[in-house]
């Protein structure tokens, strides 16, 4: 029988930490029960482990106490790292010991999976250097700034490389758990769990959930002014040359500084601002796709659709049908 360790952080926790721990424990326990019901031995012994049995993570309404100390877990096959607080900068308290233990177990052959912002904890072990990582869209900039050697896959819901798994954010950790159930049990068990818990299986992309706000936590005041100009004038035709001239910076230097500060080229930034505005219109108004397209400054339907799909993973019509209840109801009545 394999051993699954769900980590209980010693500090830097949030309510989402609880959700990840409880959700993962529940689903893997149910997968084991289903497996045993078919006359097979359980795949995993599932345990909660922390730096101390007395280390309780606590919020106002609940607390979780680990079943075992890390020192009692000599070896494990799979480690799950739950979400942590988004104010994370570096491991604190007993979490320093947790990161060392994760690194040690991985080097012994264990696989490791991080859920949501737990990717920050995983990155702090150094195991993600040069590897792909997905994380909640709201933590992407922090991950890039703290751990520049990590290959951040903003649009991916799940990454899987060299025995390390990561996932996007929020409650999409449930999709990662199903992914691991399929890997360690089989497809039929993953489908069973998806039906029991009513989780949509095989989600691959988190782009449609991203709310683009632009990276502004940088020290380049000229680029911050350029961002503000783009956000105020995105409906107009904006060229990179015009921007660099407006802010008295050479074109090549402007491009370099913009990418360094925001993680996007100036053209990508303009596109993302336009698409974010289009998404809000598609979600909340009865405007047609063409009306929205013109409103955000596009005149070419094909170009608008291509950019929208590249950024969100969906066509404008698919997005409207998914998120605009009034539009969906009208479509159903017609």
pLDDT values of the chain reduced to their tens digit, one per residue, 334 residues: 999 999 999 889 888 999 999 999 999 999 999 999 999 999 999 999 998 766 556 666 778 889 999 989 989 999 999 999 989 999 998 899 999 999 999 999 999 999 999 999 999 999 999 999 999 888 888 999 899 999 998 778 899 999 999 998 788 899 999 999 999 999 999 999 999 999 988 777 676 677 787 778 788 999 999 999 999 899 988 899 999 999 999 999 999 999 988 888 999 999 999 999 999 999 888 899 999 999 999 999 999 999 999 998 889 999 999 888 765 444 443 3
In order, the DSSP letters of 63-88 are EE--SEEGGG----SEEEE----TT-
Domain locations in the chain as residue ranges: 2-207, 221-333
Task: Tell me the whole-structure pTM to 2 decimals.
Answer: 0.73
Compute, in degrees rounded to 10, the torsion defined by CA atoms 307, 312, 318, 321.
-130
The domain defined by 221-333 folds into: Arc Repressor Mutant, subunit A (1.10.10)
Neighbouring C-alpha atoms within 13 Å toward the C-beta of 251? 5
Q: Give helix 221-233 / helix 266-284 axis angle, nearest 10°.
A: 40
DSSP string covering 254-316 = HHHHHHHHHSS-HHHHHHHHHHHHHHHHHHH----HHHHHHHTT---HHHHHHHHHHHHSS-H
Furthest CA-CA distance within the chain: 73
Residue 131's φ and ψ, nearest 5 degrees, are -115, 160
Q: What is the DSSP string of 176-244?
A: HHHHHHHHHS-HHHHHHHHHHHT--TT--B-GGG--------SS-HHHHHHHHHHHHHTTS---HHHHH
Domain 2-207 has CATH 3.40.50.880: yes
Phi, psi of 111 (to 5 degrees): -95, 155
């Amino acid at each position: 029988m394999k051993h699954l360790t769900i980590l209980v952080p010693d500090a830097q926790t949030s309510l989402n930490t609880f959700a990840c721990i409880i959700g993962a424990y529940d689903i893997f326990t149910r997968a084991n029960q289903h497996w045993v019901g078919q006359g097979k031995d359980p795949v995993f012994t599932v345990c909660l482990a922390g730096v101390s049995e007395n280390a309780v993570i606590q919020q106002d309404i609940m607390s979780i106490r680990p079943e075992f100390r890390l020192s009692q877990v000599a070896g494990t096959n799979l480690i799950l790292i739950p979400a942590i607080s988004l104010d994370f900068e570096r491991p604190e308290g007993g979490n320093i010991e947790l990161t060392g233990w994760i690194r040690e177990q991985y080097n012994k052959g264990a696989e490791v999976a991080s859920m949501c912002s737990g990717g920050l904890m995983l990155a702090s072990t150094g195991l993600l250097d040069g590897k792909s990582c997905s994380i909640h869209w709201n933590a992407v900039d922090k991950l890039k700034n703290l751990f520049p050697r990590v290959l951040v896959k903003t649009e991916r819901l799940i990454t899987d490389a060299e025995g390390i798994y990561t996932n996007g954010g929020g409650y999409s950790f449930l999709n990662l758990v199903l992914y691991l159930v399929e890997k360690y049990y089989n497809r039929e068990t993953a489908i069973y769990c998806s039906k029991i818990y009513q989780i949509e299986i095989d989600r691959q992309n988190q782009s449609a959930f991203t709310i683009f706000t632009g990276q502004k936590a940088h020290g380049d005041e000229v680029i911050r002014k350029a961002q503000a100009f783009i956000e105020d004038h995105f409906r107009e035709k904006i060229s990179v040359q015009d921007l660099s001239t407006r802010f008295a910076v050479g074109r090549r230097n402007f491009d370099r500084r913009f990418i360094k500060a925001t993680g996007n080229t100036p053209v990508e930034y303009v596109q993302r601002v336009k698409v974010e505005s289009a998404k809000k219109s598609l979600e909340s108004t009865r405007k047609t796709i063409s009306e929205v397209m013109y409103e955000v400054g596009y005149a070419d339907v094909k170009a608008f659709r291509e950019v929208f799909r590249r950024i969100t993973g969906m066509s404008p019509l698919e997005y409207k049908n998914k998120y605009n209840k009034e539009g969906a109801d009208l479509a159903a009545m017609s």
